[in-house]
Chain A
Amino acid sequence: MTVKETMTPMERIDAAIALQPVDRVPVVPMMDFFCARQKGVPLAQFIRDGDLGRDLLQQIFEEYGGWDATFLGTTLNEFAWTLTLMMPIKIPGRELPENELWQFDEREVMTPADYDFILENGWMPYWQQMFPRVRPHIPAHEVPVHLQAWLDQAVRDTLKWESKGILTFTGVAVVPPLEVFSMARSIKEFSLDLYRRPDKVVAAMDRVVDDLIHTGIGGMTGMKQATKWGFRTAFFAGTRATFLSPKQFDRFAWPYIKKGVLAYVDAGITPLLHFDSNWTPYLHYFRELPRGKVVLEIDGQTDIFKAKEVLGDHLCIMGDVPAQLLKLGTPDDVRTYVKKLIDVVGKGGSFILSTGCDCPIDAKPENVKAMIEVGKTYYPHLN
């Protein structure tokens, strides 16, 4: 079965986001470290050498027949991530062997007293105070140089993809205060904070939320100016709000997610809600967001079929071929699952096919190919 393509990748993605008809589902897998492993390049080298990361991704892109938009080659950048993700990271070639996957190293790097510091001093002084704790191996005075290098890399990569007519799907990370604090405090200590000092947590969130939003908008605007298309969406991270009870969610999570989304939409930016973990109990909240202006990207833990039921007529859903299926399944297992996704979640459009979060480094290449191939050729919903 072959789909007759009548749209460009960009038209297809725009239509899916805006809840308009598509000729087939857009396919936008999140590929990075998988490419390094496939090409036999040690992960430490892949992280260090941005141009190499991009080139390997482009090689895989071409060998696998291409897809509709790309992520940046190396999604991990500990300098850029420190702008908003206050969590230590174990990096291959430093804390880990050369060829082992990076991992978050969650521990308490922020103390309860830091909430007071934030209230008194605001975001930037807090950030400056936190940086040496989160990245003790990077001298603070080198940060601007590293950040500039990352930005230059992002621009260079995006321009190179654009020269081939390929859109860079996302890049700049936007993080709500809950994610920032819970990463820095550790999820355990942060959960206890919600009982022990809830008012202080909220006050600190209120103090930083606007600065966090503006950091992201600034990055998106900069990319737009430096390239032809910029990033199609702003990467909006969320995972930890799923730990909260509905009452806590209403107070500590949702108001800030909503505020961020509205600010982005107002600025003409599409937020990509990269919401790992299980959001199923909270899906109805997303109906409060502007219709056809947001992408909800889920990772195999949220019930994507339920998400379609609750949100299918309201926002674009992206996901969610599960990591364990890509690693342990057969190509037929993958085809069956992707067809089901397209049959159910793809019905009526407003769906982007992707890996659930990152494509696992040890996915079977034949499974990744099967996912892309079915995504590009199977679409039973025309007419």
Chain B
Amino acid sequence: MTQATNGKLTSALVELEEERAAKLVSEQLAAGVPPLTIVDEMRRGMGEIGERFAAGTYFLSELIMASEIFRAAMEKIEPHLAAGTGGEAGEIVFATVKGDVHDIGKNIIVAMLRGAGFRVHDLGVDVPVERIIEKLRETGASVLGLSALITTSFDSMKTTIEAVAQAGLRDRVKIMIGGGPVDERVRAYVGADAYGHDSQDAIKLARQFLAVEV
């Protein structure tokens, strides 16, 4: 697949060259390069960006820029993809819990998970428990990501996770949490399966939960 595109797109993304990446995507689509090949190229780039972030050479503004390039490219590519493709790594429902309107961290994590090939249903901020349960049922997703920035939201996370259990979904849904003050103590308090500090943690956890080959 790199033969078709020579890895130029991956490199444009990794170097955060927005215009060049957009141009390459358009050119490749016009040249008949299979859309999934282009998506793979982009994902390789997102993977490299994630690794640079983990190594401390890329920072959050770089993740934000990369996510934007990726999002714009996917918008162009998606009409060319067969329905149902593009989220092979598995489905995840994501939300900032009821009572909390912060979404900077969540948005970065969602974008990076998409970049890693997951189909993420982002429900936004201040999300009531009922909507989360409805979405888990509707999609059959087996991973739920919850985000919170303020301490009062820990109780909201706890309530949400209890409600997922009451709905009979807890056995098939793994739950990961994140946000500024989240640590092991918070994980234990709310009853989640795991917590993470950043997008790389989230990708690792989602892969573990879904047993995706890395």
Contacts and interface: CB of A to CB of B under 8 A. Distances in A.
B162 interface: no
Given A196-B18, A324-B185, A301 B64 contact: no
A192 B59 contact: no
B181 interface: yes
Interface stretch (B3-11, B33-41, B98-106, B199-207): B98-106
Contact of B152 (A192, A322, A361): A361
Interface stretch (A241-249, A286-294, A372-380): A241-249
Contacts, number: 82
A329 B188 CA distance: 12
Contacts of A215: none
B150 interface: yes
B147 interface: no
Contacts of B150: 101, 103, 360
Contact of A191 (B65, B182, B186): B65
Interface in B94-121: 99-104, 107
Contacts of B61: 191, 194, 243-245, 248
Given A101-B152, A242-B60, A361-B152, A324 B101 contact: no
Contact of A103 (B62, B100, B155): B100
Contact of A362 (B62, B68, B101, B151): B151
A216 interface: no
Contacts of A244: 59-61
Given A242-B60, A362-B151, A300 B181 contact: yes
B48 interface: no
A106 interface: yes
Given A243-B59, A243-B61, A106 B154 contact: no
Interface string B138-166: 00000000000011101100000000000
Contact of A192 (B68, B107, B151, B183): B68
Contacts of A248: 59, 61
Nearest to B60: A243
Interface of A: 90, 100-101, 103-106, 187-188, 191-192, 194-196, 242-246, 248, 277, 281, 300-301, 322-329, 360-363
6 contacts: A103-B102, A106-B103, A187-B64, A248-B61, A327-B154, A328-B154
